[in-house]
């Protein structure tokens, strides 16, 4: 088997989940921007997500956000997903968008509000059971704005209690992924600000609790691939929320700000074989498209991850290991740079054609007429969105 066939074989194993919230209206802290043809219901979000899978062949699941995607019958939601060729992926509880959570959710000093937040986490475990989801994905906006506002250690204890109750309620088939963010919306302390804090809680909980790395949730200059490598080494990398940011926000298309960083991250993933089907690492997008059309932006994002992974698969591992052992700094770096500079688009085009797909997913989507169809069909009714 030639190198191109080997790379294509490996790429077939990489699956990328898209988020339901990418298909609703979104915006900044100041304004939510409406787009024509945006999904109005959770069912329509699933139909849009299915388009991404149809044209890329590697996006077979969609993450849902509760209560943004709350429905009366979750079994029906899963059946609808299966009918359009995808499945329900990670369940994402929302404990940051109600007035009660002004001073936090599971870390709030008010025990009644902590109970409300924890009950919602437990509800999402049940939704996961009903939809066949294997992942509960947690992110908390909890934190403080001023020194002395609350007891830092007490908030960690409250967080640990809520996580423990939720973890113990999960079926053995479900994993908990705990995301972190170093600042925003809280500016003095975030209760899960970094991978170390997330990891400490995961270690307390058990093997089915793992760290989720959002590629936009780091200070400028943070070596994300170092974090990835360390978590892989200890079997605690649960998955990714892929996106990009230039300064502080995190909703740009993955690879848009720094494609070389995305390549470096995927290089660590590929080196560990964690891109393969048997790996437990979940590759998920977490993006809200405010200026660009939503479905094409998701397709482009999937393609960006594929391209970075293909380049990582082209790294000559044997030559790299020798250069590293010989402390040949320039040669080792050149091996990575050569792989990154390779144009893998023709190879990916061949892969898609081998899979019975169009070599150009974006072009194929635009020619399909789906974008025009949903603009016409969804002209009446309230679009889904997260409000601001």
pLDDT along the chain (388 residues), means of 10: 88 98 90 92 98 98 97 97 98 97 98 98 98 98 98 98 98 98 96 98 98 96 97 98 89 95 98 95 96 97 98 98 98 98 98 98 98 96 78
Domains along the chain with CATH numbers: 7-377 (3.20.20.150)
91: helix, strand or coil: strand
At residue 342, φ and ψ (nearest 5 deg) are -75, 135
Tokens of 167: 């973890």
pLDDT of residue 2: 77
Q: CA-CA distances (angstroms) from residue 310 to 41, 48, 347, 356?
A: 35, 26, 9, 19
| Angle (nearest 5°) at CA 45 between 28 and 60 | 110
Alpha-carbon torsion angle 252, 253, 258, 264, nearest 10: 130
Q: Which residues of 163-189 are buried (b: 16+ CB within 10 A; e: fewer)?
A: bbebbeebeeebbbbbbbbeeeebeeb
Q: Please give the Cα distance from 206 to 200 (Å, whole number).
A: 10
DSSP at 285: E
| Angle (nearest 5°) at CA 275 between 357 and 198 | 130
Sign of CA dihedral 354, 358, 362, 363: positive
pLDDT of residue 247: 87
pLDDT of residue 358: 98
Q: At what angle do helices 345-354 and 294-313 cross, to 10 degrees?
A: 110
Q: Please give the Cα distance from 380 to 388 (Å, whole number).
A: 21
Sign of CA dihedral 285, 20, 16, 253: negative
At residue 290, φ and ψ (nearest 5 deg) are -95, -35
pLDDT of residue 29: 79
pLDDT of residue 388: 46
């Amino acid at each position: 088997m030639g190198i191109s066939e080997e790379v294509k074989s490996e790429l077939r194993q990489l699956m990328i989940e898209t988020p339901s919230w990418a298909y609703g209206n979104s915006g900044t802290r100041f304004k939510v921007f409406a787009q024509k043809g945006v999904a109005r219901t959770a069912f329509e979000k699933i139909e849009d997500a299915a388009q991404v899978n149809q044209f890329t062949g590697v996006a077979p699941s969609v993450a849902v956000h509760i209560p943004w995607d709350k429905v009366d019958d979750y079994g029906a939601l899963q059946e609808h997903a299966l009918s359009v060729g995808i499945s329900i992926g990670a369940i994402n509880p929302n404990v940051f968008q109600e007035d009660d959570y002004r001073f936090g959710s599971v870390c709030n000093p008010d025990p009644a509000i902590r109970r409300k937040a924890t009950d919602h986490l437990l509800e999402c475990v049940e939704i996961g059971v009903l939809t066949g989801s294997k992942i509960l994905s947690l992110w908390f906006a909890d934190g403080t704005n001023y020194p002395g506002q609350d007891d830092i250690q007490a908030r960690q204890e409250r967080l640990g209690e809520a996580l423990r109750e939720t973890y113990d309620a999960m079926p053995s088939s479900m994993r908990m992924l705990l995301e972190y963010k170093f600042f925003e919306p809280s500016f003095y302390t975030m209760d899960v600000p970094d991978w170390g804090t997330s990891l400490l809680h995961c270690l307390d909980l058990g093997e089915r609790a793992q760290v989720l790395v959002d590629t936009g949730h780091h200070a400028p200059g943070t070596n994300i691939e170092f974090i990835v490598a360390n978590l892989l080494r200890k079997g605690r990398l649960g998955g990714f929320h892929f996106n990009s940011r230039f300064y502080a926000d995190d909703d740009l298309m993955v690879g848009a700000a720094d494609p070389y960083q995305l390549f470096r991250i995927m290089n660590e993933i590929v080196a560990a074989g964690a891109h393969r089907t048997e790996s437990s690492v979940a590759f998920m997008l977490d993006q809200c498209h405010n200026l660009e059309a939503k479905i094409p932006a998701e397709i482009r994002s999937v393609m960006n991850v594929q391209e970075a992974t293909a380049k990582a698969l082209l790294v000559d591992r044997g030559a790299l290991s020798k250069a590293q052992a010989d402390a040949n700094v320039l040669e080792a770096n050149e091996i990575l740079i050569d792989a990154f500079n390779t144009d893998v688009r023709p190879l990916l085009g061949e892969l898609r054609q081998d899979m019975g797909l169009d070599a150009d997913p974006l072009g194929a989507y635009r020619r399909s007429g789906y974008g025009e169809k949903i603009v016409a069909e969804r002209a009446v009714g309230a679009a889904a969105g997260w409000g601001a």
